[in-house]
Amino acid sequence: MMPVASDIDVLARFGRALADPIRCRVLLTLRKAPAYPADLADELGISRTRLSNHLACLRDCGLVVTVADGRRIRYELADERFGHALEHLLAAVVAVESDGTCPDTAEKECC
């Protein structure tokens, strides 16, 4: 029987995924709709090789999955709740930034 990941492990994995701006952009794009790697690379303006590395990280983190579509592979969020979580996270961060409670925003970019 596989052990269940602890809450800390789960949040750390999610944090690792969000630690890179390109992975954030991929997740935000996939929250709107599934996409093919070539289309994602074009939309994000990055090479397919670079995108492939980020998609592998997101797969390893368990946040995205591949879906066979004939001879092509499509990427999508592993669970639709990730899309909702991203929306809530964005709203919370914007709310905190706008009220000035993030101590680092005045001096530098937070996080």
Condensed to tens digits (0 to 9), the pLDDT of residues 31-53 reads 999 999 999 999 999 999 999 99
Query: CB of 51 within 8 A of CB of 41?
Result: yes
Query: CB of 78 within 8 A of CB of 65?
Result: yes
Contacts of 66 (CB under 8 A, 6+ apart): 59, 73, 74, 75
Amino acid type, 5? A
Is the domain spanning 10-98 CATH 1.10.1580.10? The answer is no
- Least confident range from 16-20, 27-31, 94-98, 102-106: namely 102-106
Give the whole-angstrom CA distance, residue 70 versus residue 96. Answer: 45
Report CA torsion sign: 14, 19, 23, 29. positive
